[in-house]
Amino acid sequence: MDYYQTTERYRKREAKSQLRFILRILALLVTLWVGWIIGQNQQWSVFSSSSDRLQELVQNNNRLEQTVAVLTEQLNTEQQRRLAAEALINTEDKDVVSLRKLVSRYLAKDVPPEQIRQLLNTLGEATKCRKIEQRDVEVVTPNFAGGNSDRMFLSETLSLFIEGESGQDANHDNPWFDLKQPVTVRASFLGGEKITNGVLPLTMVLAMEDWLIRIRLTDTDLNGYANVTISKCLIN
């Protein structure tokens, strides 16, 4: 083997060695690149999962806040209703106070309980009553306000306000109140107030200590009006 052949062999060996080194470097770079891609995908997956979980937690928190707000509102409503009920219990109606005084007076006279019960059952009946006023009064509806819907009686010591529902005539609403529907009567007398609902004819009784005011409402031929009869009933 001459010098030329020996040199060529070493040159080829050196070239192969450098080529293998370059291929190893490229393989290492490809491996690093593939690892980086996989790492980025995993990181993105973790980030997306965390973002979805965070969004779910935010939605759950919003739902919990709405639930707490609804429960708080219900609790406040229940507390207000309870306070109103307690106030209603603590505030006695004037009629109840008057009837209690009446019963106490009869008990002090040794009146039998059965007789007292019969008397209370007949408070709304026309016994020992004297008619003192009678007139037609407007019945207010959503379509009819009348000339003066708040009428005064008994030398302007008794105020009556009557409200009803509008009727229908041939599938058309008319302004007058419907006689078949209940009316609401609000009576204000000597600083007190009483409200009664019902269909005409309707009777309302205001109890004083020794006498009663009976208010009788009946229908009239005049559209939009009800006839009011005020009677004073004595209690023996």
Kindly report, residue by residue over 53-98, the tens digit of the pLDDT. Answer: 888 888 888 888 888 888 888 888 877 776 665 554 444 455 555 6
Is the pLDDT assigned to residue 133 strictly greater than 80?
A: yes
Give dist(CA 102, CA 234) in Å, integer: 12
Give dist(CA 166, CA 1) in Å, integer: 130
Is the pLDDT assigned to residue 163 strictly greater than 70?
A: yes
Average pLDDT, integer, range 136-165: 80
Is the pLDDT assigned to residue 227 strictly greater than 90?
A: yes
Span 170-195, pLDDT tens digits: 666 678 888 888 999 999 887 778 89
Domains of the chain by residue range: 1-90, 96-234
Give dist(CA 120, CA 97) in Å, integer: 14
Average pLDDT, integer, range 209-217: 82
